[in-house]
Amino acid sequence: MTPELKQKLALIDKLRDEIDSFRPLKPQAQKELREYYRIDLAYSSNALEGNSLTESETKIVIEEGLTIGGKLLRDHYEAVGHSEAYDLLFELSKKENISERDILELHRLFFYRIDEENAGKYRTVNVIITGARHIPPTPARVKPLMRDFVDGLVALKKKTHPVEFAALIHLELVTIHPFQDGNGRTARLLMNLALLQAGYVITIIPPVLRNGYLEAIRRAQGPGRSQAAFVSFIAGTVHESLKDYLRLLGALNGERRGH
């Protein structure tokens, strides 16, 4: 771990401790924050994959059940499916560890309206990733790789900082690319599950950072598999998300807070 990353993680933990000072939150505050991030995470994660819904349109689709004229039906399904997977995220966050079944169910809930046959199931075809040199493993290797991945989570969790752990499991899932579609969104849900289980908050990767995000993944999957840049990138988004969470807590408490 580089000195820069150590410093960043120390700042992150300081912010988390500050958030902990507000806990336990009042039920209304919990509800407000949970619903805020339901929309923010669905919009940002879907937008990273090319979904055309704006943040306000995503809110309308999820909260009011309305369709947006001129937008693809799939884009609506992605918004609603992500919202359902988000609810499961909070249920699973009460657990200590992550199981293979948890990952499959997160994918199923997000994807079943789009492709019921493949939702929550490992792919049976070869795939390529647009704009990437990384070639995902063949279908025959997916299940054993995923089982090895899940079997190693407890050991990995013990030897890494929670933010590093969340980043690495995100990276490993997109590298294995176990599903025919929806791998990126499942990886970001999985990353947030790990963060919630460790007492952190929902982390958003803004669409404006898409190029840097994809480049960090490419560097981690390329020759030598340098994971440091990706972990550092995710640490940066966790840091910004914690600052935003504190801003929202301040607003709910009638305060002005700045970092």
pLDDT digits (tens, 9 = 90+) for 150-182: 999 999 999 999 999 999 999 999 999 999 999
Q: Residue 187: is its pLDDT beyond 90?
A: yes
Top pLDDT among 46 and 224 is at 46
Side-chain-side CA neighbours of 107 within 13 Å: the count stands at: 26
Q: What is the rounded CA–CA span in Å between residue 73 and residue 70?
A: 9
CA angle 43, 227, 91 (to 5 degrees): 45
Q: Is 177 a catalytic residue?
A: yes
Average pLDDT, whole number, for the chain?
A: 95
Pick from 156, 157, 214, 208: which is nearest to 184 by CA?
A: 214
Q: How confident is the model at residue 226 (pLDDT cuts 50, 70, 90)?
A: confident
Looking at the chain, the whole-number percentage of residues with pLDDT higher than 90 is 90
Report pTM.
0.95
User: Tell me: the pLDDT tens digits for 101-126?
Assistant: 999 999 999 999 999 999 999 999 99
Give the amino acid at 162.
Answer: P
User: Tell me: the pLDDT tens digits for 242-251?
Assistant: 999 999 998 9
CA angle 93, 118, 225 (to 5 degrees): 65
Q: Where are any strands of DSSP class E within 93-218?
A: none
Q: How confident is the model at residue 258 (pLDDT cuts 50, 70, 90)?
A: very low
User: Tell me: the pLDDT tens digits for 45-79?
Assistant: 999 999 999 999 999 999 999 999 999 999 999 99
Q: Residue 256: is its pLDDT beyond 80?
A: no
What local confidence, expressed as pLDDT, does residue 133 receive? Answer: 83
Q: What is the rounded CA–CA span in Å between residue 68 and residue 43?
A: 14
Q: How confident is the model at residue 185 (pLDDT cuts 50, 70, 90)?
A: very high
Give the amino acid at 49.
Answer: E
Q: Which of 170, 177, 239, 259 is catalytic?
A: 177
Top pLDDT among 254 and 113 is at 113
Six token digits for residue 84: 């359902």
